[in-house]
Amino acid sequence: MHIERLEKIFIGLGGVLLAIGIAAIGASVFAADVHLPAPSGRVDPRTVRSTAPFNQPGLKQTGPNQYEAVIVAFTWAFQVSPDIATNEIRVPVGANVTFTVTSTDVVHGFMIERTDVNAMVIPGQITKVSYTFDKPGEYLIICHEYCGTGHHTMFAKVIVA
Ligand code: CUA
């Protein structure tokens, strides 16, 4: 009799926790607008370098303090400018940057430290993520998806000044 009552309370608590969990997911998606980066297009990984916009990687201004950074990820670097030796992007404070990224080979990661930018770069797909850089500083872009022996050398920088 007594044990049965405790069981009912535990089942009830389980239900309450489940409802709180579902409500929290609902609040993050619908109220806080939290969502996973979605693929926003497709591109043949074999012809990335001759397909727009990836045939001209780099930063373009698209509006007032609005930029698009076209980036090609490959083993083992991020090409962030027409000059392959450059691995820096420079933007002013307050810039909203949309990163348009794809891979020519394997799956890479695209994470910018001290931001909520955290996406996968999948060959054949175009990854788009945006971020507003309100604070000056250097932000490291790193590949956080193991992609081979040079994985740890794969990085670039956003310099906000
Ligand atoms: Cu690219 Cu790890």
Q: Could you identify the atom of ligand 1 that is nearest to the CA of residue 106?
A: 1
* β 95-103/66-74 pair status: parallel
Cβ neighbours for 127, distance < 8 A, ≥ 6 positions apart: 37, 39, 40, 99, 100, 101, 102, 110, 119, 120, 121
Q: What is the pLDDT of residue 4?
A: 87
Cα-flanking dihedrals φ and ψ of residue 132, to 5°? -105, 120
Query: Residue 46 Cα, ligand 1 centroid: separation in angstroms?
Result: 18
Hey, whose CA ends up nearest to atom 1 of ligand 1? 108
pTM: 0.79
Can you give the C-alpha Rg of the chain in angstroms? 21
Give tens-digit pLDDT for 17-50. Answer: 999 999 999 998 888 887 776 667 899 999 999 9
d(CA 99, CA 80): 10
